[in-house]
Amino acid sequence: MRRIMALPVLALALIAAGCGTGGIAKSSGNDLTAGKKLFIQNCGGCHTLSDAGTQGKLGPDLDEAFKYDRKQGFAESSIQNVVLEQIRIAEPPMPQNLVTGQDAQNVAAYVASVAGLPAK
């Protein structure tokens, strides 16, 4: 059931990513090390992500949220776009634009590179 529900959410987020909300995620030039550090500082208190060692309970567990997408073969760039869009259009309790600009790109690229995968 989660898999079925994840597809429309992912599709909607991908469509919205190109519709006046800041565009799609950058595919190159992102700093994953900086993204991890920013994720831990700004996002880890609310989100669980194994690679970052965070155990937040307020927001979604990002490993769980993206593991079905990975099993279905979604591209890392698709996951990156979803994460970036969620940063941009977040709803309370997550503040919108918690990180912005290149920092948001770095966080989205980092999360997309590790979410739903076994911790390194």
Q: Quick one: CA dihedral 102, 105, 107, 109, positive or negative?
A: negative
- Is pLDDT of 19 > 50? no
Q: Is 120 a member of any domain?
A: no
Domain that holds residue 99: 2-114
Tally of structural domains, the chain: 1
Amino acid 1: pLDDT: 55
Q: Is 41 a member of any domain?
A: yes
Q: Is 66 a member of any domain?
A: yes
Q: Is 73 a member of any domain?
A: yes
Query: Could you read off the pLDDT of 42-93 as tens digits, one per residue?
Result: 999 999 999 999 999 999 999 999 999 999 999 999 999 999 999 999 989 9
Spatial distance between the Cα atoms of 70 and 82, rounded to a whole number of angstroms: 13
Amino acid 96: pLDDT: 84
Query: Could you read off the pLDDT of 58-72 as tens digits, one per residue?
Result: 999 999 999 999 999
Q: Is 119 a member of any domain?
A: no
Let me know the angle formed at the C-alpha of 88 by 92 and 51, rounded to the nearest 5 degrees: 85
pLDDT level of residue 20 (50, 70, 90 thresholds): very low
Across 6-18, average pLDDT: 51
Spatial distance between the Cα atoms of 61 and 116, rounded to a whole number of angstroms: 9
pTM for this entry: 0.80
Spatial distance between the Cα atoms of 25 and 84, rounded to a whole number of angstroms: 7
Q: Quick one: CA dihedral 38, 35, 19, 59, positive or negative?
A: negative
Amino acid 5: pLDDT: 53
Q: What is the CATH number of the domain that holds 6?
A: 1.10.760.10
Q: Which of 71, 63, 62, 58 is nearest to 3 (CA)?
A: 71
End-to-end CA distance of the chain: 29
Amino acid 107: pLDDT: 98
Amino acid 119: pLDDT: 75
Bond prior to 92 in cis (omega within 30° of 0): no
